Structure 1
Amino acid sequence: MPDLTEAEWLDLTSHAKARAARFDSEIANRLAANDLRGAKHKSRKMLTCRAVCLHALIRENAKARSVNRLTPRELLALLPSVSVFARRASPTLRWMRKREGGLRPIVKFGLVDGACAALIAMVLRPFARAHPQRACHPAQVMLAGGPPVACERLRVALEQAPAEAVFVQIDVRRFFQSIACSELARMTGLPPEVIHRHLSMEHLKVHRWKSPPDYRGMERSSSEYVASAPSGAECESGSPSGLATGSAASSFVAEIVMGHILRAAGDLQGLIALIAYSDNIGAVVQSREAALVLKEAILRALRRSEAGPFEAGRVTMNAITDGFDFLGYHWRVLNGSVVAVPERRRHHYWTMRFGTDLLQMGFSAQPTSAAQPHTRLRAYANSKWLWGGREAFVADWEQRIAEMIPDGSSDPTEVMAPA
């Protein structure tokens, strides 16, 4: 295969990007006209379009570290492998420890499988955005701005809520693992063979799998567990099932499923704001009586979902004046004002890890730059943009960094000693 000049490669990538955008617009227009058959036809053509496949491959390659990225020639050589109808995804499964306890299965896709998943995600985007029966519910924010939008909606709702208002939080247990993939073709519009080959854990060629109970003795010593074992039908009972987590397409599928659940809950009386971020549902309601009605409506919709059934892992109801944890913050309405501070346990965990790493840098015999801890500190502070005390928090830790790292003359044990 001849090498492409830089100008030729730029023209090719621009054409691929424009082709993907055109398909997206065409599918959205057909969905807006309620032409589901035409939208499905266009989506199938998009899944087989070589230009769109190349765009997906380029996007996935850009996620890799610069030293691991492939050249244009290598990408073009891989292009025939990006076939969602002929290829069967073969990811690696890892068990990740959750902060609140337990293990979560995460699949890691290679470049080609990741490109196939990105291609499916591009096809699903207009369905999740435009279709009247398949689109996301207005309360869902994961594909419409993420945590910043969710937090702003909650802040506005709390400002408008009466003093007796209640916050209801429902966390769905094993949401991705409980999704019945047999129902996804009808709910998402994807061809069944694409779902089986790239989304269903029961049909993927999963490598390096092992049941989590075998790791109970190692849970405290490691946050990630990997081992080799059979996959598919050869797996023993308790093997991962449902929707593959970690896939670029899985988030769109899960959002479509959650949209069905929230619509099935019906009109909720006394509701001030409903916010759903992935499988975490929060609602501000006018009274405790309305909170009980809303809770039962959502739990009933979870149990009766065609893609389930699902069950709640945690259900809490708190008065907004007492405070509650949601999306990494502890929220409370105090004297008519909304106060948001970092959730105590997560904030303590972060500061403990950061302080430990800083101590190690201070004791290190090798020259250490302060740029890395400064960047890490500011990144954490920026993620807590609603926290009024973040500037003081950053100033305190920046002083500790300056005292510990510049020339190594200070004693790290004295710098990190509690006041």
Structure 2
Amino acid sequence: MSAIHRVRHLLGPDSTEETRTFEEIQTFEKEIRKFEKEIRMFAEKHEANLKRLAKAVEDGNPRKIRGAVDTALKSHAGKVVCLVRSVEKGPGMTREWILEEAERLSAYEDPGEPVRAWAKPKSSGQGWRPMCKFGPARTALQTLAGDILAAMHGVEPTNYLSKGRGADIASDRINSLVEEGFTHFVLADIENCFRSVQHGSLKHRLGLPQKVITTCLLIGPEVEILPYTPTGTTLPDAFDGAVRQGVPQGSRCSNLVMSLLLGPELRAMTSGDRIIVHGDDIAIAAHDEEGAKALQTALDGILKHHPAGPFRLKRCEVANIFDGFDFLKYRHRRDPFTGAIKRRPAAVCYYRYERRVIATVQTRSVANAVKDIGAYRRNWMGAFPRWEWNPLSKQLLANRMEELVRQEAPAKWARLLRGRRPGGWK
């Protein structure tokens, strides 16, 4: 359905185009409905191929599985659907272009598109991670591979980066586990998680042909990398090699691949409904401190000896819900008197907030900075729907923002701030 919905967006007129005549509108609607009907037929064929693959996996017939995988990879219908779901709207976008580009796609041959890459600083302020942006052909092949992997392996229950989940749902699960009687949590963060994946392990773990894995899931040695360096920045040492290591961040299916690599090992350690995996962040619930420490030791050993690793832990600690702990974007704490579970933004989120305010003060004009900072604070608070803030917490946040401005602002800000009442950044 996502492909069908995107047809009108991709082929529709640009907002800058001049008003069209009634006849042109009628012609446009006719062509759109025609292509939507084609895409629906392609989508049904693609879905049938995926169901056939899932049935072969259920039956456990290796020959049928290989045949169903090959059929889904080579299907023109599947490539059209995945391309429509991946390409961005642009000038000259036509039905003919989409069909021709899909015809040229092959999961067994590199599409020849360069990969744009840059070094993204980590939110902790320490280190960086290589990020990638892919062209429409590579993105379409990643989408196709992701559909096939999902049909083969299903949805990994521990993966909270899957569709319909996310950091807020993961936080809700933390709360429900506490309500079920789990008071301790093992909190872990894998160091350089995506880059640590060994390429040679993927064929056995994922069940795809090696050439398909190289083309769709990895960045091979022959792929051209276009480094992006904003003004005033330089690339870290060994940047090119880091981009090609493991599975690339920014790919449509890298999160899916990581969940399929980590999930089975983690579920072998304890019940899957106690485990929350969000990218490279892991939380595992335990009833008491002794059980949590046993899980902590087991987790470290499993990841060190993982067939696709080793994976090294940057952090692996035991936390108590009564003392409170940060996981993803929330801090969770149970009030020992009322028993209520309270959530607020995690420390790293406050750190990002402060860095953004400081950068705005230093780089924007007075009038624009006042406007931008106030809007940013409102949007920032809105990014935490599980945070039940009150007027006091809102006032404290505004006071902290004004304090940062006073500390970081140049002399031209002093006169402006002297006349502004505390908490006046609305």
Distance 2:94 2:396 in 1: 45
Corresponding residue of 1:405 = none
- 1:106-149 deviation per Cα after TM superposition (whole angstroms, max 9, x unaligned): 121111111111111111112231xxxxx62x333222522233
Q: 2:151 is aligned with what amino acid?
A: P
1:99 corresponds, among 123, 136, 142, to 123
Distance 2:239 2:281 in 1: 32
Corresponding residue of 1:257 = 261
2:193 corresponds, among 175, 178, 193, to 175
User: What is the deviation of 1:382?
Assistant: 4.2
- 1:339-361 deviation per Cα after TM superposition (whole angstroms, max 9, x unaligned): 11011331353266268659948
Cα distance 1:126–1:414, how it changes in 2: closer, same or farther (>3 A)? farther
Q: TM-score under structure 1 normalisation?
A: 0.77
Distance 1:314 1:108 in 2: 28
User: What is the deviation of 1:79?
Assistant: 2.0
Corresponding residue of 1:73 = 96
User: What is the deviation of 1:6?
Assistant: 2.3
- Does residue 349 of the first structure (1) align with residue 347 of the second (2)? no
Distance 2:226 2:389 in 1: 45
Distance 1:345 1:175 in 2: 19
> What SS does the corresponding residue of 2:226 show, helix, strand or coil?
coil
Q: 2:309 is aligned with what amino acid?
A: G
Would you say how many aligned residue pairs link Structure 1 and Structure 2?
A: 376
Cα distance 1:417–1:30, how it changes in 2: closer, same or farther (>3 A)? farther
What is the correspondence of 1:371-382 to structure 2 with a 5 Å cutoff? Answer: 380-382=380-382
What is the correspondence of 1:293-332 to structure 2 with a 5 Å cutoff? Answer: 293-332=294-333
Corresponding residue of 1:404 = none
Distance 1:125 1:416 in 2: 56
Q: 1:91 is aligned with what amino acid?
A: V
Higher helix share: 2
What is the correspondence of 1:23-102 to structure 2 with a 5 Å cutoff? Answer: 23-61=49-87, 64=88, 66-67=89-90, 70-88=93-111, 90-100=114-124, 101-102=126-127
Distance 1:397 1:189 in 2: 50
- 1:281-310 deviation per Cα after TM superposition (whole angstroms, max 9, x unaligned): 112212221111101111111111111111
Gaps of 5+ in 2: 1-27, 402-414
2:136 corresponds, among 92, 97, 111, to 111
Distance 2:97 2:391 in 1: 47
> RMSD across aligned C-alpha pairs, in angstroms?
3.8
User: What is the deviation of 1:240?
Assistant: 3.9
Distance 1:389 1:193 in 2: 52
Distance 2:104 2:311 in 1: 36
- Does residue 20 of the first structure (1) align with residue 46 of the second (2)? yes
User: What is the deviation of 1:230?
Assistant: 10
Q: 1:175 is aligned with what amino acid?
A: C
- 1:243-285 deviation per Cα after TM superposition (whole angstroms, max 9, x unaligned): 12211121221111011321343x47xx983211122111221
What is the correspondence of 1:103-142 to structure 2 with a 5 Å cutoff? Answer: 103-129=128-154, 136=156, 138-142=157-161
Gaps of 5+ in 1: 130-134, 401-410
Distance 2:220 2:349 in 1: 34
Cα distance 1:226–1:119, how it changes in 2: closer, same or farther (>3 A)? farther
User: What is the deviation of 1:394?
Assistant: 7.3
Corresponding residue of 2:215 = 197
Identity of aligned residues (%): 20
Cα distance 1:391–1:273, how it changes in 2: closer, same or farther (>3 A)? farther
**Contact 1:324–1:332 under 8 Å retained in 2:** yes
